[in-house]
Structure 1
Amino acid sequence: MSAPIVPILDSHIHLYPASELSSLAWNTPGHPLWAQHSLDEYRRATASSSDILSGFIFVETDRRNDSSSSSSSSSDTNDSYTGPLEEVSFLARIASNRPRPGEGHGHSGASSLGDKDLCLGIIPWAPVHRGPQVLAQYLDTVRDTCRRDGDEQTWAKVKGFRYLLQDKPDGTMLKQEFVDGLRLLGDKRLVFDVGVDLHRRGMRQLEEVVELVERVHEGVAARESKTTFILNHLCKPDLTLFDTSDPSFAAWRQAIFTLSKADNVYMKLSGAFSEMAPDFARTASPDDIFLALSPWLAVVVAAFGPARIMFGSDWPVCTTQELGTEPHNAWDKWRLVVERLCVMSSFSEDETKDVFWGTARRAYRV
């Protein structure tokens, strides 16, 4: 039995042109991703599903900026945010079909969606840690950048923001400035993408996310006014484990069920290849990967259900586990793993459509 053919909204991809490689905080010459990864490359990776790919959500790529350091002054101005604002400008050009030479986008598409139309949502970086006053000023600058380098519709594609937490000191997200910044996003109906790392940082980060959601939602009566949290990459559990009696698995499971009880919290089925043993992720079949991940996937399905989980490829990060001799590239392989999940969970066609398309549309309001 195979999953029904449904449209795909890829809820988590990263894009950057070759001209801006040096602005990526994590990327250096010699890194597997030290090359342009723009729409031309993404289209090649998704060619097998081009007829059902309905769009993508872009998520910020951790550009260098002075203010991301925990020691930076709260008086930082937008001059500190050159890298993230360059990224907004790049996405504005994609979303408005205004490519610069060599940036790898601008496809107009006679019979398929053009690059502009594939870009359904943009999640830039934002200085949430600076509190609502600085954050509000920054949002104005992002809006102005979208209008300057895109068109009037580009700002409407900005659906939320991310401040990557996985490498920040413990306690960062629980400071009152951070909580109040997230409340501001909720007031403006903008989502917050949550990037934490249980695998490398330990359970403390996930415990803080539970407390963060409680504090941001506290006292907000109307569900539609509560900030929407979208959890990235299963919260990065250690997927090299094959023993579900391990204490870290039990702690992760408890936190996932706790988070699922809160309003406006969603989970992305994404990022798993980076948390698995590299040789296994590269060489195993989609069915074998599904079997290895089934304890974690079963928890996510039981906690959130198909209406609050969404497919995300984490392209191009997922490609670091590719081998040229594979029958499937990394994007295809992960799509098949999620299809297998839908079949084994006995999801209906409508529920499968939620996982691949509907949940992301609702969560990001696209």
Structure 2
Amino acid sequence: MKVDAHQHFWMLDRGDYGWLTPDLAPLYRDFQPADLTPHLTDCEVEGTILVQAAPTLAETHYMLELAAQNDFVLGVVGWVDLEAKDAAEQIATLAENPKLVGLRPMIQDIPDDDWMLRPELAVGFEAMIAHNLTFDALVLPRHLKNLMALMGRHPNLRVVIDHGAKPEIRHGQFDEWAHDMATLANETDAYCKLSGLVTEAGQDWSIDDIAPYVAHLLECFGPNRLIWGSDWPVCTLAATYQQWHDMAQRLVGPNSAGIFGKNAQKAYRLP
């Protein structure tokens, strides 16, 4: 089974996508399952992981409803307020739905870079472990050392790093990101998503811009812990679904079978 491990749906009238403004004109409209299915067919993708785009419980319930209506959505990565006093109870309730496979706080948008290490969040992380949920780490390069520390505190927490931690490809920043990603890959069992890189490269990207970053992730995480995701529709700011799909397959070469399928099934405990 070929799996797209990172895609989004949204409906503007729901009103909880604070980051989604008219300035992002190509994205400022509804994106629904009928918009995605032609791309899945063209690229022979059989299933997806639907990932949160708003920091609300309401959106998580909305995504679970879409997952119930669309069999190709194999799992949902939702959101819970990990600072809430009843975070563990909220996680337990959501986890009763078998389509919930993970949770994702929007760490990249939180002003405090040390937020994930706050002691009061430990209960929520332990609840994720107890309910066999994956933690999607939406982090930037500056968060990687803290992510290492977090995983040291919670060694049983299953972690998937989104978008290769968003290296600043358009500015050619490589060395510090590469060092921290290598350290994290070597010292933890985290997975990493091969997603979002084309957007980080900017509109004038070329495959040569992106290739060193993909090569480094493949070297660090290997063919068994790297997971392909489209990041659709956000990817359309820089490339079509098929462009990113085909380029990623070309860059990982003979390693594509696991990266485009079974690794996502392992990381998210899919049937």
TM-score (norm 1): 0.69
Tell me: CA distance 1:187–1:88, structure 2 relative to 1, closer, same or farther (3 Å). same
Contact 1:129 1:172 in 2 (8 A): no
Q: Give how far 1:143 is off.
A: 5.1
Runs of 4+ aligned structure 1 residues displaced above 6 Å come to none
Aligned to 2:83: 129
Contact 2:95 2:131 in 1 (8 A): no
Deviations 1:118-168 (A, max 9, x none): 0101011112234xx521121244357xxxxxxxxxx10101101011121
Match of 1:240, SS state, is helix
Deviations 1:197-237 (A, max 9, x none): 23xxxx3x2221121111222xxxxxxxx110100001011
Deviations 1:326-361 (A, max 9, x none): xxxx11011111111122xxx3xxx42101001000
1:313 maps to which of 222, 230, 234: 230
Aligned to 1:68: none
The answer to whether residue 174 in structure 2 is matched with residue 249 in structure 1 is yes
Aligned to 1:277: 202
* Structure 1: segments with no counterpart, 5+ residues: 1-6, 64-83, 98-115, 145-154, 218-225, 243-247, 282-287, 323-329
The answer to whether residue 266 in structure 2 is matched with residue 336 in structure 1 is no
Contact 2:162 2:193 in 1 (8 A): yes
Larger radius of gyration: 1
Q: Give how far 1:43 is off.
A: 1.5
1:296 maps to which of 213, 216, 223: 213
Aligned to 1:94: 66
Determine the C-alpha separation between the residues in 2 that align with 1:251 and 1:263: 18
Determine the C-alpha separation between the residues in 2 that align with 1:253 and 1:309: 15
Q: How many residues align?
A: 268
Report 1:16-95 matches (<5 A): 16-20=10-14, 22-32=15-25, 33-49=27-43, 52-63=44-55, 84-95=56-67
Report 1:167-246 matches (<5 A): 167-168=109-110, 169-198=112-141, 203=142, 205-217=143-155, 226-242=156-172
Cα-Cα RMSD: 1.9
Match of 1:184, SS state, is helix
1:157 maps to which of 99, 102, 105: 99
Determine the C-alpha separation between the residues in 2 that align with 1:354 and 1:240: 28
Aligned to 1:4: none
Aligned to 1:142: 94
Amino acid at match of 2:128: L
Match of 2:88, SS state, is helix
Match of 1:129, SS state, is coil
Contact 1:187 1:227 in 2 (8 A): no
Match of 1:336, SS state, is helix
Aligned to 1:9: 3
Tell me: CA distance 1:250–1:18, structure 2 relative to 1, closer, same or farther (3 Å). closer
Report 1:341-360 matches (<5 A): 341-343=251-253, 347=254, 351-360=255-264
Q: Give how far 1:88 is off.
A: 2.5
* Structure 2: segments with no counterpart, 5+ residues: none
Deviations 1:273-319 (A, max 9, x none): 221132x13xxxxxx42x22222112111111010001100001011
Aligned to 2:265: 361
Tell me: CA distance 1:236–1:341, structure 2 relative to 1, closer, same or farther (3 Å). same
Amino acid at match of 1:90: Y
Contact 1:46 1:332 in 2 (8 A): no
**Structure 1 vs Structure 2: percent identity of aligned residues?**
27
Tell me: CA distance 1:34–1:23, structure 2 relative to 1, closer, same or farther (3 Å). same
TM-score (norm 2): 0.92
Match of 1:120, SS state, is strand
Determine the C-alpha separation between the residues in 2 that align with 1:302 and 1:39: 34
Contact 2:135 2:157 in 1 (8 A): yes
Q: Give how far 1:241 is off.
A: 3.6
Q: Give how far 1:182 is off.
A: 1.4
Determine the C-alpha separation between the residues in 2 that align with 1:250 and 1:179: 31
Determine the C-alpha separation between the residues in 2 that align with 1:62 and 1:260: 28
Match of 2:21, SS state, is coil
Q: Give how far 1:191 is off.
A: 0.7
Determine the C-alpha separation between the residues in 2 that align with 1:277 and 1:31: 14
Q: Give how far 1:190 is off.
A: 0.8
